[in-house]
Amino acid sequence: MVTAKDFAAELPVAPIHQRLGIQVLEATEERVVGTLPVTGNEQPFGALHGGASVVLAESLGSIGSVIHAGSAAQVVGIEVSASHHRAATAGMVTGVATPVHLGRTLATWAVTMTDDEGRTTCTARITCMIRPTASQ
């Protein structure tokens, strides 16, 4: 039997993660943690672009949903919302996704992003639809 940890280790690296510099540090059904560098992902005024924070949030929630659903399902993000609380202007932003609901057809995650000083920069919520693959 493949464990959630083994399954997470087999997930391919998304091209957008490479472009933005996102690193997934931990991935289980209970918690997904990743980082995003501010440098290279700023908006014109020098702060981390809010869209980059949303990509981090959606990525972490989607990874957790894939682990929850297993390899016999397809996961599709259907809703994401974010509130930006503080600008990050240097260093790394760390996102921690925890499940709000893990169901048979929907999975919802809360994601809190903090700067290097532990200050909350953004909170987000991502909901994914879980669909059986065509072979089921």
Catalytically annotated residues? 58
Q: Which of 46, 35, 43, 55 is nearest to 126 (CA)?
A: 55
Taking the C-alpha atoms of residue 24 and residue 17, their distance in angstroms, rounded to an integer, is: 9
Provide Rg for the chain, Cα atoms.
15
Q: For the chain, how are helix, strand and coil distributed in percent, rounded to 5?
A: 25, 45, 35
57, 67 contact by CB (below 8 A):
no
Which residues lie closer than 8 Å to 66 by C-beta, 6 or more apart?
A: 7, 11, 75
